[in-house]
């Protein structure tokens, strides 16, 4: 919280108080959904909601990737939401080259999105 002090003004970030927090979480098919809720605190008012993928079934994920690979061969790598980027290649040097290239392309895309004002696929 202290990292936010520049944005929060002269507020006591070491003694934050919250009003009663009450909500429910829905967990279904590897997704956690947080319904819209209001949060009141000594820092101010905040609205919160969202969905988070939380699929930790590695056997299921590996079957999905294998099935995808049968129909659309994975040539350089695969990005699995909530797990990360996995590069492939004929040897470790090729894997490293693919990983470095994909990371560079992702960083370029992130900068492009910042420039045009789009974050996480949502238009402002």
Phi-psi region of 11 (alpha: psi -120 to 50; beta: other; left: phi over 0): beta
What lies within 8 Å, CB to CB, of 43 at 6+ separation is 8, 11, 13, 16
The alpha carbon dihedral of 22, 27, 30, 31 has a sign of negative
At residue 124, does pLDDT exceed 50? Answer: no
Q: Are residues 20 and 76 in the same domain?
A: no
Q: Are residues 98 and 47 in the same domain?
A: no
pLDDT computed for residue 116 by the predictor: 83
Number of domains the chain is built from: 2
Query: Which range marks the domain in which residue 106 is found?
Result: 58-123
Q: Are residues 41 and 69 in the same domain?
A: no
Of 27 and 103, more confident: 103
pLDDT digits (tens, 9 = 90+) for 24-54: 888 887 788 888 888 888 877 888 888 877 7
């Amino acid at each position: 919280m202290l990292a936010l002090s520049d944005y929060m003004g002269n507020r006591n970030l070491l003694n934050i108080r919250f009003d009663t927090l009450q909500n429910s979480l829905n967990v279904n098919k590897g997704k956690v959904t947080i319904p819209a809720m209001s949060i009141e605190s000594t820092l101010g008012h905040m609205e919160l909601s969202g969905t988070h993928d939380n699929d930790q079934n590695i056997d299921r994920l590996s079957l999905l990737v294998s099935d995808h690979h049968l129909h659309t061969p994975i040539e350089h790598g695969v990005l699995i939401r909530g797990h990360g980027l996995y590069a492939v290649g004929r040897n470790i040097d090729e894997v490293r080259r693919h990983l470095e290239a994909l990371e560079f392309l992702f960083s370029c895309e992130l900068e492009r999105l910042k420039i045009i004002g789009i974050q996480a696929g949502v238009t402002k």
